[in-house]
Amino acid sequence: MANPALASTSVPGPGMSGLWEVALGLLVVVLAIVAVGWFMRRLYPGGTTGTQALKVLAALSLGPRERVLLVDAGGTHILLGVTTQQITALHHFSEPVVLPEAGGPGDFALRLKEALGRGARP
């Protein structure tokens, strides 16, 4: 016959100590991420926001993965062809390119009418 004292003993499960270890580990990881972010901002103040010397002035999509970009790089305007495989300088402008203004609220309505073929025709 089995010993009744041995049958009543139970094996302890993971309990709360395992949960506290996981929570403490997660807290350490989150604090490390915050600390690295703070350190990177202090070390490189404008590192991820870009710079004023390089601006995309205009973009035109030629296909699902092909574009043409007009970039202002330190006062020089460059026309770039961008694909998934490479970036090619198509043209370097000797003088800055003058872009037309975007127009007011009526500009969108005019373009929509033209696109639908209902624009004013002479």
Average pLDDT of the segment spanning 39-47? 71
Query: What pTM does this model have?
Result: 0.44
CA–CA dist 81, 66 (Å, integer): 7
Name the domain count of the chain.
2
DSSP helix/strand/coil, 55: strand
Which residue reads 């373009």 in tokens? 111
- Domain assignment of residue 28, yes or no: yes
Please determine, for residue 115, whether its predicted confidence score (pLDDT) is greater than 90.
no
- Domain assignment of residue 58, yes or no: yes
CA–CA dist 72, 74 (Å, integer): 6
Residues 24 and 40 in one domain: yes
Residues 36 and 66 in one domain: no
Neighbours of 65 (CB within 10 A): 10
Higher pLDDT, 52 or 73: 73
CA 112 to chain centre: 30
Burial zone of 77 (CB within 10 Å; 0-12 exposed, 13-18 middle, 19+ buried): buried
Please determine, for residue 81, whether its predicted confidence score (pLDDT) is greater than 70.
yes
Phi, psi (rounded to 5 degrees) for 11? -90, 125
Residues 24 and 41 in one domain: yes
pLDDT recorded at residue 51: 59
For CA atoms 57, 83, 73, 42, the dihedral sign is: positive
